[in-house]
Structure 1
Amino acid sequence: MIFEFLDENELSSGSSYNSGDDYMSIDLEEDEDSCDPGENKLFWETREKLLTDNLFRTSSMELKIRLATKEIVKEIKSAKVGVCNCGKTEINGCWLCFQREVSDRLRKAGYNSGICKAKWTNIKEVSAGEHTYIEVLDTLSSKKRDIRVIIELNFRSEFEIVKASQEYNHLISWLPEIYVGKTERLESLIKILCLASKKCMEDCKMHIAPWRKLKYMQAKWNGIRESKVVLLQDIFPGVLKRSNRLSRTTMVSLLTFDLVESLNSSSCLNSMAIEVL
């Protein structure tokens, strides 16, 4: 797949892609239903053009994160020993652990990555659901606002439809398995694909499920980054090793733990958040 490279500082006043931040200025309103073969062909050709234009234009930052993510996923899947933290032997056995491992390795590689979770209840036209994904924040950009880059490790399957039309299957065949892109780019993709899936299901006389609608799909990647819980053994690793009074290293009580004697400086207590277990 060949990408058209856009530098972060490149500006093109004659394009709808200014530095890769402004996306899909073309009107994406729903077209009127038509059974005309010519109009039907034009609809799918237009969706494909919009989709490929969006996918193939990328920034230097997105490209670096994409390459790093693909390399990390390749290393994890080629490892003989799984890295699952919930007791399973195979990494493919737990999707959340797989996401966390990719996020952790990205963070070690110097990227400000983390797991985001979106969870919503039943509201008008949107059924309840939840979704997790990886987010990378670029805080070193010369622009005033932070840039959010979404990483979805199973992107194509999010839009697959059983018994879909040939035109729709051809459209989503352009989608990468691992998606890496700015939130604005993802928003445009979701609009294109949701309109295409609606057209597909109407043509195939299928019911449009609530989880296929635009608002539901938009909610999936509009989550909040999870905060990492810091345990005492992470804050005071040396203290736990010197303590002979503790029977368990994973459950620490402040009532039996002499912090004053163990810490070299009491000032560090003012800069740390301690969770009492």
Structure 2
Amino acid sequence: MAKEFFTGSATGRSSDEVSLADIVFESWDSFDSNKDGDVDENNNDNDGSSSEKCKAFWEEKDQLLKGILCRTSSCEKKVREATKEVVREMDNSEMVCSCRRQVVAKSCRNCMLKELCDRLLNLGYNCAICKSKWRSSSEIISGEHSYLEVREDLSKSKREVKVVIEMSFRGEFEMACGNEEYKELIKRLPEVFVGKAERLRALVKIMCSAAKRCMKEKKMHIGPWRKHKYMEAKWFGTCERSTMEPLLVMNSATRQPKYKASMLTFDLLLDNIQGLHCTTVEVV
């Protein structure tokens, strides 16, 4: 099945909605501005359970999400189209898992990242695998996460743009116990995200705020791995950036035959090495 990509466009949406996207993205810093990007804990139970306020909250999150997903840049579009084409090629090829031989390569996240990175490098993109790690603190538990990053130099502005590629973006936010409003937000998210770091940061903030509100409405405790600081650490924490070797593509026409020699003729090989000689093994 083809993966759904973040397209950065609003297919079938009116120009009014695109204009709204410009407004909500530019004013995002002033919205929901508490330090964790979550809903206000000081609201009393009556306010928190008010159907009017709940409805307004989810409508606002939906508009913010649509607004950010409507936006894109020429740099993002170029990397996104290249990524989409590479993923399509990978789906049609057979790959050998380089880290766990008993696992099919296409079901191994590590192998998929390595192969995608290598193919983008071959196309001339400055792509690398980023592995972020963070320690436990009073606010979050320890963890690690791997993703791809493409760096593009903009000649006009003389600055570097970082484009993040997350192969399982929607899955990072899915919750089995989510309410209907939260699930509708999840449906809007692309399976594969390809976009600038600042756009990703805004999306993470929206979804973490929605997840916390969802758990509060259901009177459930939110897991520490779903909190804003933890989710943000996945893509914005301290990370190591490295390129990887490509995976082997199964193709019998390009395989090199392995050299095989019998131990009975091993002495003949040694004759060619500094005049060495040993007696042939006698077979009885």
Written as runs of structure 1 = structure 2, the 5 A alignment for 1:178-257 is 178-222=192-236, 223-228=238-243
C-alpha change, 1:26 and 1:55, in structure 2 (3 Å) is farther
1:58 corresponds in structure 2 to 72
Q: What is the number of residues matched between the two proteins?
A: 218
SS in 2 for 1:139: strand
Q: Is the 8 A contact 1:70 1:178 kept in 2?
A: no
Q: Please point out which of 74, 82, 89 is paired with 2:95.
A: 82
Question: In structure 2, what residue type is equivalent to 1:24?
Answer: W
Offset at 1:162?
A: 1.4
Cα distance between partner residues in 2 of 1:26 and 1:50: 13
Q: Which has the larger radius of gyration?
A: 2
CA 1:216 to 1:83, structure 2 compared with 1: closer, same or farther past 3 Å?
A: same
TM-score using structure 2 length: 0.70
Q: Provide the secondary structure at the position in 1 that maps to 2:141.
A: coil
Distance in 2 between residues matched to 1:197 and 1:62, nearest whole Å: 27
Aligned to 2:168: 154
Q: 1:41 to 1:229 in 2, by over 3 A?
A: closer
- Give SS of 2:98's match: coil
Q: Equivalents in 2 of 1:229, 1:179: separation in Å? A: 21
**Aligned residues with identical type, % of pairs:** 44
CA distance in structure 1 between the aligned counterparts of 2:52 and 2:23, rounded to whole angstroms: 28
User: In terms of mean alpha carbon deviation, does 101-110 or 42-51 score higher?
Assistant: 101-110
Q: Distance in 1 between matches of 2:206 and 2:226?
A: 13
Structure 1 residue runs without a partner (length 5+)? 6-11, 231-277
Q: Which runs of 5+ in 2 are unaligned?
A: 1-6, 12-18, 34-38, 246-284
Distance in 1, matches of 2:148 and 2:67, equals: 24
Give the whole-Å Cα distance in 1 for the aligned partners of 2:127 and 2:243.
Answer: 12
When normalised by structure 1's length, the TM-score is 0.72
The match for 2:9 is: 3
User: 1:23, 1:188 within 8 Å by CA — same for their partners in 2?
Assistant: no
Please tell me the root mean square deviation across aligned C-alpha atoms, in Å. Answer: 2.4
Aligned mates of 2:65, 2:227 — CA distance in 1:
18
Structure 1 residue 34, shift from structure 2 partner: 2.0
Deviation at 1:92?
Answer: 2.4
Q: Is the 8 A contact 1:62 1:149 kept in 2?
A: yes
For 1:56-135, what aligned pairs fall within 5 Å after superposition?
Answer: 56-79=70-93, 81-86=94-99, 87-88=101-102, 90-135=104-149
